[in-house]
Amino acid sequence: MNTPAAFTLSDVSKVYSNGTVALHNLDLTVHEGQFVSLLGPSGCGKSTVLRMVAGLGKMSSGNLYWGSSSQRKLAYVFQEAALMPWATVEDNVALPLKLAGLSKSAAREAVQEAIALVALQGFEKAYPRELSGGMRMRVSIARALVTKPEILLMDEPFGALDEMTRSKLNSDLLNLWGQKQWTVVFVTHNIYEAVYLSNRVVVMAARPGRVVADVAIAAPYPRTEEFRTTPLFNDYCRDISNSLSRAAGQTAALHPSDSVSASVVNQPA
Amino acid sequence: MNTPAAFTLSDVSKVYSNGTVALHNLDLTVHEGQFVSLLGPSGCGKSTVLRMVAGLGKMSSGNLYWGSSSQRKLAYVFQEAALMPWATVEDNVALPLKLAGLSKSAAREAVQEAIALVALQGFEKAYPRELSGGMRMRVSIARALVTKPEILLMDEPFGALDEMTRSKLNSDLLNLWGQKQWTVVFVTHNIYEAVYLSNRVVVMAARPGRVVADVAIAAPYPRTEEFRTTPLFNDYCRDISNSLSRAAGQTAALHPSDSVSASVVNQPA
Amino acid sequence: ASQAPTSTEAPASPAAGASPASGELTKITYGTNWYAQAEHGGFYQAVATGLYKDAGLDVTISMGGPQVNGTQLLMGGAIDFFMGYAADAIKAVEEGIPKVTVAAIFQKDPQILMAHPGTADSLEDLKGRPIFISSSANVTYWPFLRAKFGFTDDQKRPYNFNPGPFLQDKQTAQQGYLSSEPLAIKKEGGFDPVVFLMADYGYEPYSTTIECKRELVESNPDLVQRFVDASIKGWYSYLYGDPSPGNELIKKDNPEMTDEQIAYGIEKMKEYGIVDSGDAQVKGIGAMTEERWKSFYDTMAAEGVFKPETDYTQAYTLQFVNKGPDAYKV
Amino acid sequence: MDNLFDVPRQPEASAPSSESGQPSQLQRLLSPDILAPILVGLLMLALWELGVRLTNTPPYILPGPILVLQTLVREWGTLFPSLLITMKITLFAFLAAVVSGLLVSVLFTQSKWIERSFFPYAVILQTTPIVAIAPLIILWVRQLVPGTASTFVSLVICAWLVAFFPILSNTTLGLNSADHNLINLFQLYRASRWQTLRYLRLPSALPYFLGGLRISGGLALIGAVVAEFVAGTGGTSSGLAYQILISSFNLQIPRMFAALLLTTVLGILIFVLLTMLSDRLLRHWHESAVRREN
Amino acid sequence: MDNLFDVPRQPEASAPSSESGQPSQLQRLLSPDILAPILVGLLMLALWELGVRLTNTPPYILPGPILVLQTLVREWGTLFPSLLITMKITLFAFLAAVVSGLLVSVLFTQSKWIERSFFPYAVILQTTPIVAIAPLIILWVRQLVPGTASTFVSLVICAWLVAFFPILSNTTLGLNSADHNLINLFQLYRASRWQTLRYLRLPSALPYFLGGLRISGGLALIGAVVAEFVAGTGGTSSGLAYQILISSFNLQIPRMFAALLLTTVLGILIFVLLTMLSDRLLRHWHESAVRREN
Ligand SMILES: Nc1ncnc2c1ncn2[C@@H]1O[C@H](COP(=O)(O)OP(=O)(O)OP(=O)(O)O)[C@@H](O)[C@H]1O
Ligand SMILES: Nc1ncnc2c1ncn2[C@@H]1O[C@H](COP(=O)(O)OP(=O)(O)OP(=O)(O)O)[C@@H](O)[C@H]1O
Ligand SMILES: [Mg+2]
Ligand SMILES: [Mg+2]
């Protein structure tokens, strides 16, 4: 019952020029409309995966195949806020629209909406240096959402946010995703968040970075706060937590490819 | 049964030059050896509190009093990693020691220890741009811990780390704190983390930033992983979560000082 | 240009009579070697009094300056005639540059050395003492002085047209232009320096000459002749007539030039016979002779300034001058 | 939960003590920011005067500032028109340098190849003595621009040669220093070359560019002066170089210093204006101009 | 769990394709990085030769490069010693400018007051025509340094005047551009002024400083040449300026161009060396020099 593949990373390796093997023979297919969370120990190559998908930097080997959508319809929330220090919040958020050729007035409404989504009304004219860390990250999120992307890559977007804002943005994101049938790849360190949001959780192990678990979260959308209290939710969390521990252990394995095949590889719903 | 005050913020206000009222008549006394967590919505002034305590930037009004220790014995993990891009991991971590006048060889052992603590062995000679986001943050943590500070200010230090690393660092931090009787002020968005780690949780509300709840966590140390599953733990979490919701509501209150006095102010054990 | 009273006489020189009647004026630019001053007076006078116009020429005078390279401007066609210098003309032959001296207005080079009063009676006395000279002296009179008076290179001090350092130190000497620096020193320093005109010590190049491309001499000798004649007439008029029309133009080009300086310049030119002495008194202003070129060449070649094999006769032509003073009477 | 954040920021003035609104014009002029450099300037002049008097230096070597100022006042009628001419050359050369420096540096950042291949040769423009190539410039310009404008154009070209390189060099450096994350972002959104340039590289390069301007402003001025020495003008269209040279030649050293004072003041003025421009453009975001509160 | 991260990085060479180790010296010389600019240089020379031939420009206006090279070879015996002398002056002036520029800019960043008060006057050094103040410099130097060294010192001072300001200006800008978070960090750890300078401000300023060097390198050279024009006396210890002037006086235009070619090559060499230095010092961390892989 799979939808068509949005993109496929096939046998991808990435060796940085200083010799660090960030990814090693990684295979990953993400299907259209999936909400995939990517978990793994710090430095295991999650950001590198997103960068490869976004076409930032060359792969050392392997291929990236696109389905019907393409890199063109992609938005990316970087791990760092990456705002232009010389531009106001408004202008930072408007950037993707400006680059797409929209006039300022045409962009205004979408920008206002995106800023409202991350609750930064009143700060339109502020410069990044006048914002708190979390606010900066929210500007970055608004900038990604403003384009109405088909594919959304998010690298720990909510890590710097308080629980309230975070859960608000979680449900906002789910709503948007439900409406638009986006494909989302979401890096997070929060297992609960991953399970709550996604219909698939991919766990990576470190150096060389590779997929060690791929868990389908078979719970229906829309998901309410109650979902968080169900036994199913807790089971998934425990399951993934275990995978993560195993992933940490496996890092030291001498033949990483062996252990990959031994891990549970579920297909998404 | 209070220990002497490590420092007291008395009636502190901070108005940034663009007019943002970041803190408004804030009072906060932290006692020696306390582990205080600071929670609050994004942009409520948590980082500003830490900056005031660290003496970075002038207060608009109010005072900061020091007990027997002083600003001199302070270490600060900034919200951003703030590494020197031209220096290797090793040199970044060694910086505070170098500034304190230690010779390179004298510093070496402490640096090695700090790097091991954040599990970055093997990356001593790497430059910050060669690290992942979480690794960079860990360097920043190592830099703060390397000085063996009496007072430790940490601004969301573990936000960018995976659960495994996070809980390892959590327990490492608790161990260190238990041994050295540090005073810790710890900003986090993770309620569980806050309750697990601290003997006091302070909740702030936003614009103007002020304290709306001050909860003592009356659980003995050392705390084990089991503590996380006790009803007490859950009660505290729920309590604080409620305070946070209320804090969010109170932000719109016209006379914030009224609502401050109405909130529960507990004294730490 | 200002329309000074023009002469009523008909064209005197037959060679010049060819075209002025047609009314079409030929545009000509004459490049000088410095900011406008009395030493350029004859040319300005010829402009001011319409002498060039009578010869069918519309002459623009383009001032030189301390670092303006006239020969390149001449050969590149930016100017048609250039105020040259005999030494330079012979150098041009050596380098294969086809320019020719067609008239020599100054029989004596006004180049001088000055010393503080009472410190020297003749050039020999300057031996061993610091002398401020400009860098161009290295290829003109300095080798001559070195050879003739035993001056040495360690005496040289850089002169950048600021006589202050000379005033400061009584033991020093300095180069100058007869009619310029001595007056400045008298006015600002309050004393009359001792002046040694190098022409009086055997250094005898023609100077303030008229040069043009060889090509022009060959293709349009008539034009050259008209320019030379009108210029010489200008000089007669400037020296012996009323110089004020020329002076007005000089002051216009060089606003810092004072009447006092101009008067001093004219006086010195006359006193030392810079323009009208020797051959010029017989053959008219602008006169040149084979002998004089040869003796200058020989002197300088002996000091190694010129190569022994140089055909210095290529440097000039006598075709346009030596017509006798009467030929230039207006 | 939306109103969690919506207490609007008051858009107040950014001066911390601006309770009573903007400081008056007079107050601003009397602020220490302006007074301090003026005092230092006066102090230097006083020291100069004192030095000249104590050592009994004659005015034809080094005149004291009082004498220079007196001379300046007396000769204002001739020096001021010259100043205007030098200013005009400076201005044109500076503008030409800014435009060309910007354009070429933009060209350089379009490809590492172009930069590598041509940058080292750009330095030729700077290291060739103007004296040596002035005749060539004059000849060429004369062929392209006949008439009286030709001298002016030659002068501007000579001065431009001097002012060009620092802008090129600094701006190229700046264009290459854009933040890597932002470059990625622009790449991601398929920004065209022009967009990346316009919205990313140029703003990033601004501090460097403005630094280049400050260097080139002075160089354009000195270039204009030197150009006049080598390309020669005279009469009514002559600039300060002519006045300096003639004064020196005539031993009117106080007058020479008066002319030098004018170039100096012009140079300082250019510098101060460019610094103010720089502060204005960067004050919102660049470390060198932002007033940090912590 | 400690060994979660401890797979050590292999400290390999940073060239991506360096499987076979370091490229050989020859390979490196033949790399496009080096070849491209050389080709461009040759192309420009060819165009120059062609232009001269096609327009039939006589050598006394503009000699072609072949003639210039021939002349250079023929006159090598006199030109090369001059080159060495000019190089020596350039080097001393450059070093003096580097040291003084660095020191003064450090002084400036110690207090906004000092910077505000003195920076505008530093521009005077740049905008004063050397011609005008050379006599003063020579007089002063002669009083302090008697004997033959005095001319050399005067020349170095004149050239230094030209090279000083860009380093000062750029370094000051760089020192003021240190990252604010890092400044806070240093403040927190009670870093002394000297430590903040040494470990924070100077490294931050490095890219700007090196940019300033690239500008000043060329300026020191042209400063040396100009200085010799105005303060040199000729003779055996004379540099390229003297050769240029004398060739020009002697109407030996090809020889003049040969001397110009030497200054040009020297200028390019200085530039290339400084660029290499810059790449080397910044390649680990600054955007302008890092080779990014994504
Ligand atoms: N530019 C680079 N040069 C060299 N090595 C790099 C570079 N970027 C990343 N690496 C290395 O690649 C590995 C994977 O990095 P990546 O940023 O993908 O990790 P991550 O999973 O996103 O970690 P985190 O959760 O900490 O953000 C790390 O070991 C890191 O050191
Ligand atoms: N330099 C500054 N100039 C102006 N306003 C500032 C500045 N720094 C912070 N602020 C404002 O002060 C308020 C508090 O900021 P602060 O950084 O203390 O928040 P925070 O609680 O740390 O938030 P976060 O959890 O997002 O890091 C915010 O509204 C922010 O916009
Ligand atoms: Mg990452
Ligand atoms: Mg914060």
Distance C236 CA to ligand 2 centre (A): 89
Among protein residues, the one with the nearest Cα to ligand 1's atom 27 is B133
**The two three-digit tokens of residue C90, written as one number:** 């012979």
Residue D154 structural domain: 63-282
Distance B264 CA to ligand 3 centre (A): 39
Rg, Å, chain E Cα set: 24
Is position D27 within any domain? no
Residue D212 CA to residue D164 CA, distance in Å, equals 9
Span D39-46, mean pLDDT? 92
CB–CB of A188/A156 below 8 Å?
A: yes
Residue B120 CA to residue B93 CA, distance in Å, equals 11
Q: CA of B17: how far to CAs of A122, A175, D22, D294, in Å?
A: 16, 38, 14, 11
Residue C196 CA to residue C204 CA, distance in Å, equals 13
Chain D contact set for E176 (CB, 8 A): 287-288
Nearest-10 crossing angle of helices E240-249, E65-110:
140
Domains held by chain E: number: 1
Q: CB contact, 8 Å: D136 with chain B?
A: no
Rg, Å, chain C Cα set: 20
CB–CB of D124/E264 below 8 Å?
A: yes
CB–CB of A143/A92 below 8 Å?
A: yes
pLDDT exceeds 80 at position D232: no
Q: Residue E213 half-sphere exposure, CB side, CA atoms within 13 Å?
A: 22
Q: Torsions phi, psi of B11, nearest 5?
A: 55, 40
Residue B110 CA to residue A175 CA, distance in Å, equals 49
DSSP structural state of residue D8 = P
Q: CA of D252: how far to CAs of A267, C164, C178, C308, E126, in Å?
A: 95, 9, 18, 44, 23
CB–CB of C101/C321 below 8 Å?
A: no
Residue B206 CA to residue B251 CA, distance in Å, equals 6
Query: Model pTM?
Result: 0.90
Provide the greatest CA pair distance for chain C: 62
Residue A266 CA to residue A258 CA, distance in Å, equals 17
Weakest mean pLDDT among A118-132, C14-28, C194-208, D224-238:
C14-28
Span D69-92, mean pLDDT? 94
Three-state secondary-structure class, residue E136 = helix
Burial of C313 (0-12, 13-18, 19+ CB in 10 A): middle
Is position D13 within any domain? no
Ligand 1 atom nearest residue A49's Cα:
18
Q: Residue C15 half-sphere exposure, CB side, CA atoms within 13 Å?
A: 17
DSSP string covering E153-216, please?
Answer: HHHHHHHHHHHHHHHHHHHHHHHTT--HHHHHHHHHTT--HHHIIIIIIHHHHHHHHHHHHHHH
**The two three-digit tokens of residue B175, written as one number:** 């161990």
Q: Torsions phi, psi of E178, nearest 5?
A: -60, 145
Chain A contact set for E12 (CB, 8 A): 18-19
Element (H, E) at D52: helix D32-54
pLDDT tens digit sequence for D270-281? 999 999 999 999
- Per-residue pLDDT, D234: 56
Is position E179 within any domain? yes
Distance A46 CA to ligand 3 centre (A): 6
Q: Torsions phi, psi of A68, nearest 5?
A: -75, -35
**In chain B, which ranges are E strands?**
5-15, 21-31, 35-39, 61-66, 74-77, 151-155, 183-187, 200-205, 210-216
**Amino acid of residue B165:** T
Q: In this complex, how many residue pairs, one in chain A and one in chain D, have their CB atoms less than 8 Å apart?
A: 77
Residue A90 CA to residue A111 CA, distance in Å, equals 7
Distance E6 CA to ligand 1 centre (A): 14
Considering only residues C309 and E238, tell me which one the structure prediction assigns the higher pLDDT: C309
DSSP structural state of residue D67 = H
pLDDT exceeds 50 at position D17: no
Chain D contact set for B251 (CB, 8 A): 3-5, 7
Q: Considering every ligand atom shown, identify the ligand nearest to the alpha carbon of residue B209 and give its number.
A: 2
**Amino acid of residue A128:** P
A123/D9 Cβ within 8 A: yes
Residue E210 CA to residue D14 CA, distance in Å, equals 34
Chain-centre distance of CA D290, in angstroms? 22
Ligand 1 atom nearest residue A79's Cα:
27
Weakest mean pLDDT among A117-131, B35-49, D230-244:
D230-244
**The two three-digit tokens of residue D10, written as one number:** 């008051």
Residue C41 CA to residue C235 CA, distance in Å, equals 7
Q: CB contact, 8 Å: E44 with chain D?
A: yes
E235/C72 Cβ within 8 A: no
CB–CB of D75/C256 below 8 Å?
A: no
CATH number of domain containing D149: 1.10.3720.10
pLDDT exceeds 80 at position D12: no
CB–CB of C144/C299 below 8 Å?
A: yes
Going by pLDDT thresholds of 50, 70 and 90, the confidence category of residue E5 is: very low
Q: What is the 3-state secondary structure (H, E, C) of A10-41?
A: EEEEEECCCCCEEEEEEEEEEECCCEEEEECC
CB–CB of E205/E175 below 8 Å?
A: yes
Distance B22 CA to ligand 2 centre (A): 7
Residue E246 CA to residue E238 CA, distance in Å, equals 11
Residue C35 CA to residue A224 CA, distance in Å, equals 93
What distance in Å separates residue E23's CA from the closest CA in chain A? 16
Three-state secondary-structure class, residue A124 = coil
Q: Torsions phi, psi of E171, nearest 5?
A: -65, -40
pLDDT < 50 stretches in chain C: 1-21
Q: Does any ligand 2 atom lie closer than 6 A to the CB of residue B79?
A: yes
Span B213-227, mean pLDDT? 87
CB–CB of D172/D108 below 8 Å?
A: yes
**The two three-digit tokens of residue E52, written as one number:** 């001269």
Domain boundaries, chain A: 3-72+150-251, 82-149
What is this model's ipTM? 0.89
Q: Considering every ligand atom shown, identify the ligand nearest to the alpha carbon of residue A51 and give its number.
A: 1
pLDDT tens digit sequence for B86-122? 999 999 999 999 999 998 888 999 999 999 999 999 9
For the CA atoms of E54, E55, E60, E65, the dihedral, rounded to the nearest 10 degrees, stands at -40
Q: CB contact, 8 Å: D10 with chain B?
A: yes
Rg, Å, chain A Cα set: 19
Q: Does any ligand 2 atom lie closer than 6 A to the CB of residue B251?
A: no
pLDDT tens digit sequence for D151-203? 889 999 999 999 999 999 999 999 999 999 999 999 999 999 999 999 999 99
D215/E169 Cβ within 8 A: yes
Considering the domain B3-72+150-251, what is its CATH architecture? 3-Layer(aba) Sandwich (3.40)
pLDDT exceeds 90 at position D3: no
Distance D262 CA to ligand 3 centre (A): 59
DSSP string covering C93-133, please?
Answer: HHTT--EEEEEEEESS--EEEEE-TTS-SSGGGGTTS-EEE
**The two three-digit tokens of residue C157, written as one number:** 């001090």
Considering only residues E78 and A247, tell me which one the structure prediction assigns the higher pLDDT: E78
Chain B: partners with 3+ C-beta pairs within 8 Å: A, D, E
CB–CB of C100/C127 below 8 Å?
A: no
Residue A168 CA to residue A42 CA, distance in Å, equals 26
- Per-residue pLDDT, D161: 93
Residue A257 CA to residue A212 CA, distance in Å, equals 10
DSSP structural state of residue E1 = -
Is position E129 within any domain? yes
Q: CB contact, 8 Å: E194 with chain B?
A: no
| Cis? peptide before C98, omega within 30° of 0 | no
Element (H, E) at D132: helix D130-144
Distance A136 CA to ligand 4 centre (A): 10
- Per-residue pLDDT, B226: 84
D7/B43 Cβ within 8 A: no
Ligand 2 atom nearest residue D292's Cα:
1
Among protein residues, the one with the nearest Cα to ligand 2's atom 26 is A134
Is position E122 within any domain? yes
What proportion of chain D, given as a percentage, has pLDDT over 90?
A: 56
pLDDT exceeds 60 at position E127: yes
**The two three-digit tokens of residue E267, written as one number:** 């200028």
pLDDT tens digit sequence for E156-189? 999 999 999 999 999 999 999 999 999 999 999 9
Which of D61, D78, D245 lies nearest to residue C66, judging by beta carbons?
D245
In which order are the strands placed within the sheet that holds A183-187?
A74-77, A151-155, A183-187, A35-39, A200-205, A210-216
Which of A198-207, E112-121, E196-205 shows the highest mean pLDDT? E196-205
Weakest mean pLDDT among A98-112, A191-205, A244-258:
A244-258
Considering only residues D6 and A27, tell me which one the structure prediction assigns the higher pLDDT: A27
The per-residue pLDDT of chain E, averaged, comes to 86
Which of C36, C161, C167 lies nearest to residue D249, judging by beta carbons?
C161
B160/A190 Cβ within 8 A: no
Is position D48 within any domain? no
Q: Which residues line ligand 1 (CB under 6 A)?
A: A 16, 18, 20, 22, 40, 42-48, 79, 207; B 129-135; E 293
**The two three-digit tokens of residue A203, written as one number:** 């766990």
Q: CB contact, 8 Å: E4 with chain B?
A: yes
Ligand 1 pocket: which of A28, A37, A46 to mutate (most atoms within 8 A of CB): A46
How many other C-beta atoms lie within 10 A of the C-beta of residue C290? 10
- Per-residue pLDDT, B253: 34
